[in-house]
A = this chain, B = another copy of it.
Amino acid sequence: DFQRALVEVQPAFGMGKDDFARCLLGGFLIHGDRVRKALEAGKLFRNEVASSDRSPLLSILIEGPPGTGKTALAALLAVESGFPFVRLISPESFVGYSDFSKCQALAKVFDDAHKSSLSVIVLDNVERIFEWTPIGPRFSNSVLQTLMILAKQVPPKGRRLLILATTSNIQVMERLDFKQAFSAILSTQTMERNEIESVLDGTAESMNISQQADGTLASLHSSGLTPTLFRSLGERDMAV
């Protein structure tokens, strides 16, 4: 029947490859300094959670325009974390869910994370999860409230959790008082012309995803021309 069970990503070194692979379809290219810095900041937070007893809960909001690699960055940080518990929660998982079932499923993922010593939860495209529409505006308040509560819930003693959320609507997150729930904000930006060229030229540095035993992820980014690049090119070169 229709209400499909929540994507059950397996622990790392046995993790649900399909979903993360789809997010990293174009691989992760370090096409400039800004990208490198964002990546390093992300790793800094990951290390803080992993190593320090003092920060049992840290949460990062990765924000930026559509197609600027937010999902790719979050997926990469999660995949690379080496944490035993890794989950990707994306809007696609929830097509056909009622608000109530969504809240249940979200609570379940966090409950499970709270049982693992070290966990990463990716909340991809968070405003789509609570069904934000600028006209109205309309959104699911029950899902939003649930997310706001879960995002601030400190794990039990001895457990640590890193939350990576992505959004392309930081203004809405602010207006909803949701932004303040995060420990830090990372921003991605539209590629500049020289960055696009370094990608097309193949001169952009490429992130090596070394944990992959079968190499699936590692080989993916070789295809190069992602939908985003296709659109960027189209806007300049096609006269439709």
Contact = CB atoms under 8 A, between A and B. Distances in A.
Stoichiometry, as copies per complex, reads 6
Given A176-B133, A185-B240, A240-B184, A145 B128 contact: yes
Sorting the interface of chain A by its residue count into under 10, 10 to 19, 20 to 34 or 35 or more gives 35 or more
Contact of A156 (B18, B131, B153, B238): B18
A104 interface: yes
A207 interface: no
B156 A128 contact: no
A225 B54 contact: yes
A130 to B, nearest CB: 10
Contact of A146 (B95, B186, B220): B95
Contacts of A156: 18, 22
Interface stretch (A7-15, A77-85, A136-144): A136-144
6 contacts: A22-B156, A95-B103, A95-B107, A134-B177, A183-B227, A184-B234
Given A52-B225, A53-B223, A135-B176, 4 more contacts: A2-B104, A92-B153, A133-B176, A154-B227
